[in-house]
Structure 1
Amino acid sequence: MKFSKTTSFMLTLAVFITVNLNAQSIEGTRQGVKFATQNMDIQIEFYSNNIVRVFKTPQGFPYNKKSLSVVKSPETISIKTTQKGNKTLLESSSIQVEVNPETGGISFYDPNGKLLLKDKDFGTQFSAVDDAGALSYNVREGFLLDSDEAVYGVGQIMDNKFSRRNSSHHMQNENMSTYSPYFMSVKGYAVFWDNYSISKFNDNAQELSFEGLGHCADYYFMYGKNADGVIAQVRDLTGKAPMLPLWAYGFFQSKERYHTEDESLDVLKKYRDLKIPIDVVIQDWRYWPEFNKSDSLWNSQSFDRQRFPNPKKWADEIHKLNAKLLIVTWPGFGPKTEQRKEFDSKKMIINFDTWPPDSGARPYDVYNPEALDIYWRYLNKGIFSYIGNDGWWLDSTEPDHINRKDSDYNLPTHLGSYRSVKNAYSLLHNRGIAVNQRKANDYKRAVILTRSGFIGQQLYGSNTWSGDVVSSWDMLEKQIPAALNYTLMGIPNWNSDIGGFFAGGWKKDGGNKNPEFQELYVRWMQFGAFCPMMRSHGTDLPREIWNFGERGTWCFDAQEKAINLRYSLLPYIYSTSWDVSNNNGTFMRPLIMDFVSDKKTHNIGSEYLFGRSILVAPVTKYGVKEWSVYLPFGSDWYNFWTNAYVKGGQTIVSESAVDKILLYIKAGAILPFGPKVQYTTEKKWDNLEIRIYPGADGTFTLYEDEFDNYNYEKGKYTEIAFLWNDTAKKLTIANRKGSYSGMLQNRKFTIVLPSGLSKSVAYNGKKTEIKL
């Protein structure tokens, strides 16, 4: 699309201009324009060259919106404005925005004038409604997309679909359903509709729309050219993901639940005796006192004296065994807890029933900043500063809602009716704990496992798990596209209960010794090894490795193999975490992120890249001996297990041995492998194996730091770049960049090719070249 430039001027911070257009008036603002049409006041504001905010309110009813997700302030940039007929064109260096002041239509173009998205003519509606006694609106926003344009995001949805086209979703965050009003297009843009109410997403042949409760239609258009670029814009707008400690990428063992401090210690000791790697044990609910065998002290954030007589010693013993402790805390409080009494006295309780049943527990008002501080005060005194735990399991962060009545959604919160802000509950609960922990302890990185999420939650180091999913092959299959859509919202950390949470259906057929359940558990563990967090958890059946057999039995050995593979990849995983944090990368990369020009990838949600080099194709059916894998066009591939070289752009049928997850490595990849260890920091990375996969040029940056503090924010880390020249068959190890306390001054790298050829090289931080 080309525009004749009959009028041109610059809008800068101090320039305000009015243009009269056929009785319509567009007024220049700091970073855009504002105008009135269709009984609406509309403001368009550039937040950067790549991000545009569109803000609409009913005419004459201004609204001062304070976002719960957006942390970015508008940059000062130059905007060129051109008038053509009755339309106005705004141009930054990256986006063109065409405004029709008569219809309210807004069209977004790339710098070359290619249409990306259209905010429909007459496409916004405000319908006045009574929101718990206050005037509000049912707000609807419609967009026009290309008919064959795939879009992703919307949330973690268990429908086994990848593209969100031609679908409709009631967006209400609950156990296993985690939504944000957001979509990303294969055309390299995304829209975040900044609304926290129970709402609706709908896409059909006529339009894509959001609909929800509020006083404004407020959305951000972000253009990144490709999926990586879009995610960079999402994080620029709503917050970057911090580094997690190295131990957060080890193996986590949990169950519902360890009843005593000795029980979890014995589990950890047995893992150590068996020499199975493990880094974290998790303490689930009811470690607190049970008043008269009731739940009236639910979530008291204190320890039962009979079952946990010396919690500080318990945590210390876990640490002496070179492991970490996560402990659960809930948003709801029983009526006899001190927290509940204080929250009640200050009207900081949302007065509906939450888990568990018949307990009288109620959730606190996370929308009140003072309530977040009160919550932390009790949590810090009763647990964090007392026993020195290493992280948090934030359960029920939707929160659970039982004995549900529609009137419950009219209950007041600090920010309005519960209905109007419900979907942001997890975001604010996570924020309160992460921010307050950092204030209390500035050298221990926050690690949070949480059951729900919303855009912006990545800022707090949160890792969302998929909820209390049933233990079935169907549910395992659904985890993959659900995870990929979730991570495309810019939230990189995701995991699931390995084996599924509810496993009672397997009890009658032998439980842990049932061959089908064993295979399901192994396949799920293999998938878990290639998720940002690898965590075994569930109810009904125990999940510790020895419950499935002894060493030498196939199920035990297959689990051990998956765990050991995870630990051998720690240098790759931790370097990927730096790519996520520093470069806005993504752990679980749908194929469209790297191969969008291959249209076959647009609807593939059953496989993905873990980091930028490893294609993962989890097996999700029972008893299969072969599995189809699509290898995208644009790269050639190596079978990880056999090193067989395979051309890209084809579907292959691969042998699917039960003890091996299907993995294919991109030609040109450089993968570092670490030593065999029992926990993440047991051994130094002073003799890493560096595997080179020829067939294309490649690069990899090995990242290292002190592994668990915030000194990396002060520049205390190192990067070592590896560069493979495929034509010359030469590997260059560049000069080491940076430094930190305790870093390796001298080390050895063993370079290995798929052919078996290997060379060892001493490295002292200076550039080294190796001919292979």
Structure 2
Amino acid sequence: MKLEQVHSGADGVRLETTEGIMHIAFCTPGIARIRYTLNSELSGKASLVVVSRPVAEDILWTVVDQPGHLEISTALLTIQVDKLTCAFSYRDAEGKLLTKEPSRGGKTLERTEVYHTVFDVSADKVEIGQGADGLRARAEAINRKLDRQAYHTKLEFEWQVDEALYGLGSHEEGMMNLRGRHQYLYQQNMKAVVPVLVSTRGYGILVDSYSYMTFHDDAFGSYLWTDVDEEMDYYFIYGPEFDQIITGIRHLTGEAPMLPKWSYGYVQSKERYISQEELIATVQEYRDRALPLDCIVLDWQSWTGNLWGQKTFDPDRFPDPSQMMQSLHALNAKLMVSIWPIMGAGGDNHQEMSERGFLLGNQATYDTFREEARELYWNQANTGLFSHGIDAWWCDCTEPFEADWKGAVKPEPEQRMLINTAESKRYLDPGVINAYSLQHSKGIYEGQRSTSADKRVVNLTRSAFAGQHRYGTITWSGDIAANWETLRKQIADGLNFCVTGSPYWTLDIGAFFVRNHKEQWFWNGDYDEGVADFGYRELYVRWFQLGAFLPMFRSHGTDTPREVWRFGEEGEMIYDTLVKYLKLRYRLMPYIYSLAGAVAHRSYTMLRALAFDYREDVRVHPIDDQFMFGPAFLVAPVTTAMYYGPGSRELQGFNKQRSVYLPAGEWYDYWSDERIGGGLMIEAKADLETLPLFVRAGSIVPVGPEIQYADEQPEAVIGIKVYSGMDASFTLYEDEGDSYNYENGSYSMIEMKWCEADRILTIGKRVGSYTGMQAVRQFAVEIAAHAGRFLVSYQGDPVAVRVES
């Protein structure tokens, strides 16, 4: 491929080559949009993912013709284009190489034909089945018709030797650094795709494609491949720090809105609570035991009988939904309800969708790519559920055409990919099969926002895609199984999800499947006796400790109960340990909610791979079982059994420690305030009661009192603990907790700064206000590893506190 002509205009730089057209446009000085087509013009397609991509008029770029190559530069980024091969190289403002394509060129387009399926929609031609993963409907195809011509696209790179890559979403394999790896990118239970890569060399790549994709960095090459696209379309985002890259991603795909404060509290779920009496009684038990709780979840079959996916309450088990919600709210608890995109025949939801032609070819799953269908789906959910006062959505099975959850033997990865993508392509355009969840989430968000401004949208969803975070979603990792290997892998899966710019990820604490049903490959937990097995109780405690430091803290699963008291009684080690971390989560609520404010207002990420903060330390690149939770905490979950194996078998010879890498700097052991030098591996105490937890020197951590729900005691004294050793800062964020008034400035921020040299803590001037704000605040200042606390009365004006050594 040879460069023939260059045209620079207001919309960017057009490169005419011997094999098609390339176009480079700058969205910001550090973000370049790059397109490539073999057609005579670019497609001009509307994006489902990118919401802010016009070329900024005030961005200056230059085009310099150099011997052998072209240089297209902004103040932050230079793209060099080889004139003979059109290979791209990307450099920063100082000329440092970020990454490059192979010298022969790295962009390949291969024409492909796109077909759509024609179905016989008569009732006797639709096969209805019930699997472990819900209702399934499959229609008989009559024919396939040619729809259009498109491209397979292939984007190749030559990544650097010391470069680590992260991202692509949450998958089940537990890959951390993606170098030397291969990943299939299609939506599945336990696969949530986000087509974003982030590099420790200081850049990110967002691919604006919604078809099946693959990632390779192996013997087959180093590239991203897409199945069906109108053209190659991707964004190169310069940081160089991960937080700056995330800011760029959200500039393109939209900011994450505030979730309600209660959603950062404890969420109790199981498969399943069957009646309004059981829901209320469970919450009452938490209150009677003084165990903190903010939300309880109603899993599938809130509907009547076999009317799968009907968005109404069964009148026999939920005879008075409005009164149920009043009772739960009186207990200061919220309710999350599971809804599905697939609907069984017989209910009025299904009938209405069918009559209006809004069902896909299987005559059961609604077409979320049609705006009118999304509006109808919301109207049904509003009439049947939201109007009664429910607080949050659990959008289950948001990859509705997964087809391999059956049989005793797990299909090979290639088989799984073929089975599932083929099933999706039966009913959806092959060019959009990865975006079903994105559009489904859009309908829920826009529907609720149009109905009420008093409740923030909370949507727990099993699948995800780039940009979905702008719709108030939290993604969980699917129906995982209870074993130590899965626990360990989940950490890397969550970190790689959040590094894509999607900030909210969680999992089923304790795993969904606990027992082993050998006739079904996915039902492969290690604990047939459930909570009666001390091996499972130990595993659950470790999962619970991890969950206390995730964006959403939620227990869920089948096979065995999940309430705290099912694991023992007060005075017993396992019960007391669960309560310890449950209460710790709530004491950290001022810190956590301030992080949530930073997510919404500053494009922050609270669940952080170590490379966010220690990008240039190559020792952190492969670490897959530690992470930062906000700027202060380094969390090192225990992922091996130390006390019991399955069947309550006692283990011997474990020293109750785990190795932890502390990056450069100084650290404090959270439990003892012992100060430890960084840049080395240590052996940390890790008995069952102890999650290895460290605080970075130069941190300010606000903490609250022991509370029973997130909004309790708004007037309480807030502790300010300073971990000295370096200068520090932290912004305390507060707002009304559950409305969208913050979008109009109804919130407050108080910046706190610690000066190490002067040993002065300055609590800065409060900026902003909101209804219900505590005009006078009491802060109890404490310096780690030093005795004494200083009570400070704060009325919104700056206060300085000097602390003697």
TM-score of Structure 1 vs Structure 2, range by shorter chain: over 0.9
Deviations 1:511-569 (CA, angstroms, capped at 9, x unpaired): 21211100111110110000000001110000011111111111111111110000000
**Cross-structure match for 2:351:** 341
Q: Alignment partner of 2:157: what SS?
A: strand
**Cross-structure match for 1:759:** 790
User: What 5-or-longer segments of structure 2 have no aligned partner?
Assistant: 116-145, 405-418, 517-524, 643-653
Aligned partner of 1:128: which letter?
Answer: R
**Cross-structure match for 2:111:** 128
Distance in 1 (alpha carbons) for counterparts of 2:755 and 2:420 = 65
Q: How does 1:195-594 map to 2 (within 5 A)?
A: 195-204=209-218, 206-290=221-305, 295=306, 297-352=307-362, 362-385=364-387, 387-402=388-403, 408-411=423-426, 413=428, 417=429, 419-505=430-516, 510-594=529-613
Q: Alignment partner of 1:122: what SS?
A: coil
Find 1:41's aligned residue among 18, 21, 26.
Answer: 21
Answer yes or no: is the 8 Å Cα contact 1:631–1:637 preserved in 2. Answer: no
Q: How does 1:86-125 map to 2 (within 5 A)?
A: 86-120=68-102, 121-125=104-108
Find 1:54's aligned residue among 20, 34, 41.
Answer: 34
> What is the CA distance between 1:126 and its match in structure 2?
2.0
Answer yes or no: is the 8 Å Cα contact 2:150–2:231 preserved in 1. Answer: no
**Cross-structure match for 1:713:** 743
- Go from structure 1 to structure 2 and tell me whether the alpha carbon gap of 1:728 and 1:62 turns closer, same or farther (over 3 Å shift): closer
> What is the CA distance between 1:400 and its match in structure 2?
4.4
Distance in 1 (alpha carbons) for counterparts of 2:22 and 2:484 = 49
Q: Alignment partner of 1:420: what SS?
A: helix
Deviations 1:139-188 (CA, angstroms, capped at 9, x unpaired): 21212211221111012122222101111111111000112222110011
Deviations 1:249-285 (CA, angstroms, capped at 9, x unpaired): 1100011111111111110010011110000001111
Find 1:157's aligned residue among 129, 148, 171.
Answer: 171
> What is the CA distance between 1:204 and its match in structure 2?
2.8
Q: How does 1:645-724 map to 2 (within 5 A)?
A: 645-724=675-754
Answer yes or no: is the 8 Å Cα contact 1:686–1:744 preserved in 2. Answer: no
Deviations 1:333-371 (CA, angstroms, capped at 9, x unpaired): 11222232333334432224xxxxxxxx72211111221
Distance in 1 (alpha carbons) for counterparts of 2:565 and 2:716 = 32
> What is the CA distance between 1:61 and its match in structure 2?
6.2
Q: Alignment partner of 2:385: what SS?
A: helix
Q: Alignment partner of 1:379: what SS?
A: helix
Answer yes or no: is the 8 Å Cα contact 2:212–2:421 preserved in 1. Answer: no
Answer yes or no: is the 8 Å Cα contact 2:661–2:680 preserved in 1. Answer: yes
Answer yes or no: is the 8 Å Cα contact 1:51–1:222 preserved in 2. Answer: yes
Distance in 2 (alpha carbons) for counterparts of 1:507 and 1:175 = 20
Question: Bigger shift: 150-159 or 535-544?
Answer: 150-159
Answer yes or no: is the 8 Å Cα contact 2:189–2:479 preserved in 1. Answer: yes
> What is the CA distance between 1:209 and its match in structure 2?
2.9
**Cross-structure match for 1:67:** 47
Q: How many residues align?
A: 734
- Go from structure 1 to structure 2 and tell me whether the alpha carbon gap of 1:465 and 1:408 turns closer, same or farther (over 3 Å shift): closer
**Cross-structure match for 1:599:** 618
> What is the CA distance between 1:329 and its match in structure 2?
0.5
- Go from structure 1 to structure 2 and tell me whether the alpha carbon gap of 1:406 and 1:171 turns closer, same or farther (over 3 Å shift): closer
How large is the RMSD of aligned CA atoms in angstroms? 1.8
Aligned partner of 2:327: which letter?
Answer: E
Under a length normalisation based on structure 1, what TM-score does the superposition of the two structures give?
A: 0.92
- Go from structure 1 to structure 2 and tell me whether the alpha carbon gap of 1:663 and 1:410 turns closer, same or farther (over 3 Å shift): closer
> What is the CA distance between 1:22 and its match in structure 2?
9.3
Distance in 2 (alpha carbons) for counterparts of 1:230 and 1:457 = 17
> What is the CA distance between 1:636 and its match in structure 2?
0.5
- Go from structure 1 to structure 2 and tell me whether the alpha carbon gap of 1:678 and 1:479 turns closer, same or farther (over 3 Å shift): same
Distance in 1 (alpha carbons) for counterparts of 2:83 and 2:391 = 55
Answer yes or no: is the 8 Å Cα contact 2:438–2:468 preserved in 1. Answer: yes
- Go from structure 1 to structure 2 and tell me whether the alpha carbon gap of 1:567 and 1:221 turns closer, same or farther (over 3 Å shift): same
Distance in 2 (alpha carbons) for counterparts of 1:282 and 1:24 = 61
Q: Alignment partner of 2:757: what SS?
A: coil
Question: Bigger shift: 681-690 or 585-594?
Answer: 681-690
Answer yes or no: is the 8 Å Cα contact 1:178–1:454 preserved in 2. Answer: yes
> What is the CA distance between 1:317 and its match in structure 2?
0.8
Aligned partner of 1:310: which letter?
Answer: D
User: What 5-or-longer segments of structure 1 have no aligned partner?
Assistant: 1-20, 353-360
Aligned partner of 1:445: which letter?
Answer: R
> What is the CA distance between 1:619 and its match in structure 2?
0.4
Q: How does 1:740-751 map to 2 (within 5 A)?
A: 740-751=770-781
Kindly indicate whether residue 656 of structure 2 is the aligned counterpart of residue 626 of structure 1.
yes
Answer yes or no: is the 8 Å Cα contact 1:199–1:212 preserved in 2. Answer: yes
Aligned partner of 1:198: which letter?
Answer: Y
Distance in 1 (alpha carbons) for counterparts of 2:184 and 2:294 = 38
Answer yes or no: is the 8 Å Cα contact 1:181–1:210 preserved in 2. Answer: no
Answer yes or no: is the 8 Å Cα contact 1:288–1:300 preserved in 2. Answer: yes
Aligned partner of 1:666: which letter?
Answer: R
Distance in 2 (alpha carbons) for counterparts of 1:574 and 1:406 = 39
- Go from structure 1 to structure 2 and tell me whether the alpha carbon gap of 1:695 and 1:31 turns closer, same or farther (over 3 Å shift): same
Distance in 2 (alpha carbons) for counterparts of 1:154 and 1:22 = 32
Q: Alignment partner of 2:338: what SS?
A: strand
Deviations 1:604-659 (CA, angstroms, capped at 9, x unpaired): 12101101100000001111543334344332000000111100001100111212
> What is the CA distance between 1:508 and its match in structure 2?
6.7
Answer yes or no: is the 8 Å Cα contact 1:269–1:321 preserved in 2. Answer: yes
Distance in 1 (alpha carbons) for counterparts of 2:401 and 2:715 = 44
Deviations 1:553-612 (CA, angstroms, capped at 9, x unpaired): 111111111100000000000001111111111111111111112210111121011011
Aligned partner of 1:242: which letter?
Answer: P
Deviations 1:444-469 (CA, angstroms, capped at 9, x unpaired): 11111111111101111110001000
Answer yes or no: is the 8 Å Cα contact 1:36–1:59 preserved in 2. Answer: no
> What is the CA distance between 1:227 and its match in structure 2?
0.6
Q: Alignment partner of 1:689: what SS?
A: strand
Aligned partner of 2:376: which letter?
Answer: I
Answer yes or no: is the 8 Å Cα contact 1:152–1:164 preserved in 2. Answer: yes
Question: Bigger shift: 118-127 or 225-234?
Answer: 118-127
Q: Alignment partner of 2:106: what SS?
A: strand
**Cross-structure match for 2:184:** 170
Distance in 1 (alpha carbons) for counterparts of 2:782 and 2:440 = 47
Question: Bigger shift: 541-550 or 199-208?
Answer: 199-208
Distance in 1 (alpha carbons) for counterparts of 2:70 and 2:527 = 69
> What is the CA distance between 1:484 and its match in structure 2?
0.5
